[in-house]
Amino acid sequence: MQFRYRLIKSLFLSIILFLLLKGIVLTAADANNLTERKYPDKNVLFVWGGWEGHEPEQCKDIFVPWMREIGFDVVVSTSLDSYLDKDLMDSLDLIIQVFTMSQISNEQEKALLTAVKNGVNVAGWHGGLGDAFRMNTEYQFMVGGQWVAHPGGVIDYEVNIVKHDDPIVQGLNDFKMHSEQYYMHVDPGVEVLATTTFNGDHAYWIDGTVMPVVWKKHYGKGRIFYSSLGHVAKDFDVPEALEIMKRGILWTAGILE
């Protein structure tokens, strides 16, 4: 009787393990084609400008066609005054901002932050979101971090996936970048999905520092997604960097859970 019980228990556990593993495999495979499906009825504002060294227009030409291809209705703007258009803001599911080293007026900032608190979502990368408005701390509170340095400038470094079960990074492995390795002041409340480790070659006192690279968070009812990758458009030639950004956009749009 005891042997029979152990046999049944073993078979039961084997079945559960098989189903779990099967679920993981299916989920990972599912994640790999998420960015190729159609997702209609999502309204997006893509606003770009600021410092041209970050190639905001070239990056626009990467992401706007893709979003339109998957069914998003995308409004493209080169003015932060778009945040003052209440009818537009009330219609949005998502804002993607690429506006490095710029200034935002009190009215523009208030309109943006109010919309996000009420449920409009925000996604962005590198300095376009994480070094946009250096004087605006409430904006930085929304983003979850602010750039402060990139020791060595454009260098080789590694990005490490740290939350493998999150659909934004699921199925992806650690990967190499040749770009700016962002050192940031980061809100400890963000949900970190990928990190990088500094080696001290260019600033010895940060040797071994582990820095968030990709995170998500909330600000009010709005979802926020940020990746420090994307110094120039060519950075998105790295498949993982592009895939993470695309999935992050899907998460902020409420498609990916």
Is 184 within the bounds of a domain? Answer: yes
Reply yes or no on whether the pLDDT at 27 is more than 90.
no
CB 174 within 8 A of CB 161: yes
pLDDT value of position 34: 77
Domain span at residue 14?
1-32
For residues 135 and 43, membership in a common domain is answered with yes
Rounded distance, CA 142 to CA 24, Å?
Answer: 33
pLDDT digits 0-9 by tens, 160-182: 999 999 999 999 999 999 999 99
Q: What is the pTM of this model?
A: 0.87
Output the CA torsion 182→220→80→74 (10° steps).
Answer: 90
Reply yes or no on whether the pLDDT at 91 is more than 80.
yes
Look up the CATH number of the domain holding residue 85: 3.40.50.880
For residues 160 and 194, membership in a common domain is answered with yes
Identify the residue with better confidence: 213 or 35: 213
pLDDT value of position 85: 98
For residues 53 and 22, membership in a common domain is answered with no
pLDDT value of position 24: 32
Mean local confidence (pLDDT), 97-101: 97
Is 257 within the bounds of a domain? Answer: no
For residues 18 and 92, membership in a common domain is answered with no
Cβ contacts of residue 186 below 8 Å, gap of 6+?
A: 144, 145, 211, 212, 215
For residues 12 and 130, membership in a common domain is answered with no
For residues 28 and 104, membership in a common domain is answered with no
For residues 44 and 14, membership in a common domain is answered with no
Cβ contacts of residue 143 below 8 Å, gap of 6+?
A: 122, 124, 129, 130, 132, 224, 226
